[in-house]
Amino acid sequence: MKTNPFFCGFIVSSILVLVFIASIGILAKNHDQTDNNTCAKNISTTKLTGKLSDGTTVEVYVDIIADTKGDIYIDSERWGTANNFHVKRLIKYVTILVNAKSIPVPVSAYSDLSNTWAPELTIKGLNFSLIIKGGDGICGYEAVLMFSSGRLTNRKVVSLMSPDEGQETRYFYSSEVYD
- Asked whether the beta carbons of 44 and 63 are under 8 A apart, the reply is yes
The C-alpha atoms of residue 65 and residue 87 are separated, in whole angstroms, by 11
Q: Which residue has the higher pLDDT, 16 or 142?
A: 142
Between the CA of residue 107 and those of 18, 54, 81, 110, what are the distances in Å? 45, 29, 19, 6
Query: For the segment 35-64, what is each residue's pLDDT rounded down to a tens digit?
Result: 343 445 577 888 999 999 999 999 999 988
The C-alpha atoms of residue 81 and residue 91 are separated, in whole angstroms, by 14
Average pLDDT over residues 66-82: 63
- Asked whether the beta carbons of 163 and 179 are under 8 A apart, the reply is no
Residue 143, pLDDT > 80, answer yes
Mean per-residue pLDDT over the chain, rounded: 76
Residue 123, pLDDT > 70, answer yes
Average pLDDT over residues 57-80: 73
**Where exactly are the structural domains of the chain?**
1-41, 43-178
Average pLDDT over residues 86-93: 79
pTM: 0.69
Whole-number CA gyration radius for the chain: 25
Residue 78, pLDDT > 80, answer no
Q: How confident is the model at residue 166 (pLDDT cuts 50, 70, 90)?
A: confident
* Contacts (Cβ under 8 Å, ≥6 apart) of 38: 67, 69
| Residue 33: predicted pLDDT | 36
- Asked whether the beta carbons of 108 and 167 are under 8 A apart, the reply is no
Residue 19, pLDDT > 80, answer no
Residue 145, pLDDT > 80, answer yes
The H or E element spanning position 33 is helix 5-41
State whether residue 83 is helix, strand or coil.
Answer: coil
How many CA atoms are closer than 13 Å to the CA of 97, on its beta-carbon side? 9
Average pLDDT over residues 91-109: 92
* Contacts (Cβ under 8 Å, ≥6 apart) of 106: 152, 171
| Residue 101: predicted pLDDT | 94
| Residue 41: predicted pLDDT | 57
Among residues 105, 100, 62, 69, the alpha carbon closest in space to that of 87 is found at 69
Among residues 100, 109, 104, 102, the alpha carbon closest in space to that of 168 is found at 109
